[in-house]
Structure 1
Amino acid sequence: MAARRQGGPHEALAQHDHALWSAFAASVRDNIAGETAVQALRLGATVALARALTPGDFGLFRILLIICAFATLFTEAGIPDALIQRDALRPEHESTAFWLTSGLGALVAGVLYAGAPVIARLMAMPRLVESARLLCLPILLAATAVTSDARLRRELRFGALAVADVLGEVGFITAAFWSLALGMPLWSLPAGLAARLSLRAATLWAADARLPRGAPNARAAGDFARFASTVCGARLLTAISS
């Protein structure tokens, strides 16, 4: 009887470790499968689109990708990383993170919409104005899904994340080729990028449809502010240096 009592906690711990390891292994498998599918779709689409578009179209697309990268950086501001690393994650942390990232997303989208003509003049790309503005709403939608993304990563639900990435790429391909079919090649890549951001965000919401339970909380924000600012600063330095 005593031996059984002593063995109970050890057996429970072993089962917990086994379950955690199984979840980790499954997450690695799903992540690899998703990344492989995304890269295959992306490569195939690039080869096909290269036959119909000009180098100038891809140059504009490259600028849009850079804009999206910085928009994501300032929208997330290291907050999802702070959520993932916390030992104890309370509802007020999640709701505060949601409202902060959504607010930052709205701010970034507004700045991009207003500043698109300035960016276009600096880059000597008149087409950049409307193309950049097309991304404003998708950037805001992506911002509202940041907390869902963080929760899925924290819970090792990389299968759902892989599905979101793959569907986002399918959305890109569909929008890009649909624009070509409609005789609007100039909008092919910008529309594809907007569709990628929007569909990925919608899929994350579908996988983790938990609405915030309250208003932003200053104390909750303070709990992850230091870690989030450190992550954001490091990523900003990396982005600038590269």
Structure 2
Amino acid sequence: MVAEHDRAGVDARTGTTGETSGDLASVVRRGAVISTATLVVVQLVSLVSTLWLARLLTPAEVGLFAAGTVLCTFLVSAAEGSLRAALVQWQGDVDDAADTVFWATAAGGLLMSLLALAAAPLLGWFFESDVVTAVAAATAGLLLLESLTNVPDGLMQRRFNFKRRLIIDPTRAVAFPVVALPLAAAGFGVWSMVIGQYAAVVVWLVGTWLLARWRPGRGRPSVRLWRSMARFAYPLLLQDVVLYIRDMVQTAVTGRRLGATALGHYRYGNRLGMLPGFAVVEIASYVLFPAFSRMADQPERLRAAFLRSLTWIWFAAVPVAALVIAIGEPVVVVLLGEPWRGAGVFLVAMAGYGVGLALQSVATEVIKARGRSSLFHWTSALELLLGIGLILLLIPYGLVGVGIAVSVTEIAIGLVLVGFARGVTGCSLGDLLGALVPPVLAGTVALVAVQTVLSPSRMWPQLGDGIGGVVVEAVALGSVFLVVSLVVHRGLRDVLRTMMRPGRRDPDPVDGEDSGRS
């Protein structure tokens, strides 16, 4: 196999680089920067295309697309079987493992495509729409195409090959609006999104195979090897299945009880609310999982790296959640128009989604790296009971109830996973509180301040609820959050002090030093 980091020396059997602690720290930092930069581009493209499509399509049309594709994400996960994660974590012969995963996931993708095609009439019956039936049948082929990306993607992640971040992800993000927007403007309605989705997946498939430089046949697939990898992957698969069951129930209950227009508001509010959370998960999973896997047998190093990662991801997630609560609804109305106010209401109610996902992202990766995937059985059970139970309980309150159900579920699961990660890494309770409490305190103070004393409607009533008021409120919230954080967050003060004195460098936990305490 051809890897990106030839200078570090690639082990031909395991497909991993032979880097030292300093090499790994450098790779992780570079990967985080690359992932962050490209994700900003990808998310901006996604946001602009979402806003533009909202001007061309009605909430009902978006709702029909959501209903028709409700099975897709669930069946994609089932086809993969979480074997891509097992390939990244695998410590044995990578050629044999890659061929085994390829044929297993390709067969799963074909099976899931046929299952989705057969289930299309059932979806149409449930949502009482022939259009939903047609959309579900038309998008069934996506499952097979996506299953063919698993091995190239997994190998690139395993090698810290950042070409996917730099080339494939932005190209894939652009492919959807380039195809969907002209079709929507031409009156294709929901079909513009279907065709745009195919364009994005084809770009993804072609790009990964060209850049990964891998072909099946280099190893020998075996049932024995598949069973060994599946033991690690099974709890992750079950976790994904439960997550998508919950998402399907949310979509189905919302569409059935509240109608297609409300489902469109749910779809777009959810899409906007997931943008920051998705960015956090993508950065954490792509960079931290392989890095944590390399240091899994070095407890002190792993503990310090976990605490540092958790501290800064949480520090980024809390002010975003506060900002969503403060300006989520007016921003959606300004960007999408008055018909989409319901999406803004839902966005505010699901503000807890991002902070919950921030907790989950780092904790999940360190648990996987330690090979303790069986712990996910507990969170899968919690997600199934709490996620579905709350949506059924709160659906009478409309989109607000659905959003609150999402927020509470994600935060609860995040806290449980952090508790498991504490046991896996040996962190003390004081370590965790030192990482998590200061940003929460700063975020709460900032939110209360901009909603009362610093409210633009109170201080600058001439700005109104337009873009001027939104920008002023966002700047005020961010400023207060940063000031309070400097007062209560010792870790932030230490980092800023180090940055102001370039000659002095704090020990980096990825380099093996323990600087993870806040």
TM-score by length of 2: 0.42
Residue aligned with 1:88, SS:
coil
C-alpha deviation, 1:64, in angstroms: 4.6
Write the distance in 1 (CA, Å) between the matches of 2:147 and 2:39: 22
The counterpart of 1:221, out of the listed 226, 230, 233, is 226
> Are positions 1:173 and 2:177 aligned together?
yes
Q: Which residue is 1:133 aligned to?
A: 137
Alpha-carbon distance between aligned partners in 1 of 2:215 and 2:195, rounded to the nearest angstrom: 28
- The 3-state SS of whatever aligns with 2:145 is helix
Which position in structure 1 is the counterpart of 2:240?
A: 235
Cα deviation, residue 127, structure 1: 0.8
Moved more, 207-216 or 151-160: 207-216
CA displacement at 1:112 relative to structure 2:
0.9
- What RMSD in Å do the two structures reach over aligned CA positions? 2.0
Q: Residues 15, 81 of structure 1: CA spacing in aligned structure 2 closer, same or farther, 3 A cutoff?
A: closer
Q: CA deviation at 1:162?
A: 4.7
Which runs of 5 or more structure 1 residues have no equivalent in the other structure? 1-13
Deviation, 1:89, is 3.6
Matched letter for residue 21 of structure 1:
A
Answer yes or no: is 1:202 the counterpart of 2:225. no
Bigger CA radius of gyration:
2
Contact 1:83 1:89 in 2 (8 A): no
Instruction: Check the 8 A contact 1:83/1:93 in 2, yes or no.
Output: yes
* Equivalent in the alignment of 2:72: 68
Any conservation in 2 of the 1:31–1:159 contact (CA below 8 Å)?
A: no
CA contact (8 A) 1:76 1:101 kept: yes
1:180-213 superposed Cα distances (whole Å, 9 cap, x missing partner): 3544223111111222222112211111131111
Query: Which whole-Å CA distance do the structure 2 matches of 1:66 and 1:199 have between them?
Result: 22
CA contact (8 A) 2:69 2:136 kept: no
Partner of 1:111: 115
- Paired residue for 1:55, among 56, 59, 63? 59
* Contact 1:142–1:197 (8 Å) recurs in 2: yes
Q: What is the number of residues matched between the two proteins?
A: 229
Partner of 2:190 in structure 1? Answer: 186
SS at match of 1:184: coil
Deviation track 1:74-107 (CA, whole Å, cap 9, x = no partner) reads 1111101111111224311110100000000000
Task: Please tell me the residue identity of whatever aligns with 1:220.
Answer: L
How far 1:130 moved relative to its partner? Answer: 2.3
Distance (whole Å) between structure 2 residues aligned to residue 65 and residue 132 of structure 1 = 6
Distance between the aligned counterparts of 2:153 and 2:76, measured in 1? 13
Q: Are 2:114 and 2:140, in contact at CA under 8 Å, matched by a contact in 1? A: yes
Change (3 A) 1:200 1:64: farther
Distance in 1 separating the partners of 2:104 and 2:70: 23
> Are the equivalent residues in 2 in contact too, given 1:164–1:201 (CA < 8 A)?
no
Structure scoring higher RCO (CA < 8 A, sep ≥ 6) equals 1
CA distance in structure 1 between the aligned counterparts of 2:238 and 2:166, rounded to whole angstroms: 27
Match of 1:36 among 37, 40, 45: 40
Equivalent pair of 2:105/2:150 in contact (CA under 8 Å): yes
Shift of 1:119: 1.3
Q: For 1:107 and 1:149, how far apart are their aligned partners in 2?
A: 21
Are the aligned partners of 1:30 and 1:162 in contact in 2 as well (CA < 8 Å)?
A: yes
Give 5+ residue unaligned stretches, structure 2.
1-17, 247-383, 388-518
The secondary structure found in structure 1 opposite 2:221 is: coil
- For 2:25 and 2:68, the matched residues in 1 are separated by 39
Q: Determine what percentage of the aligned residue pairs are the same residue.
A: 24
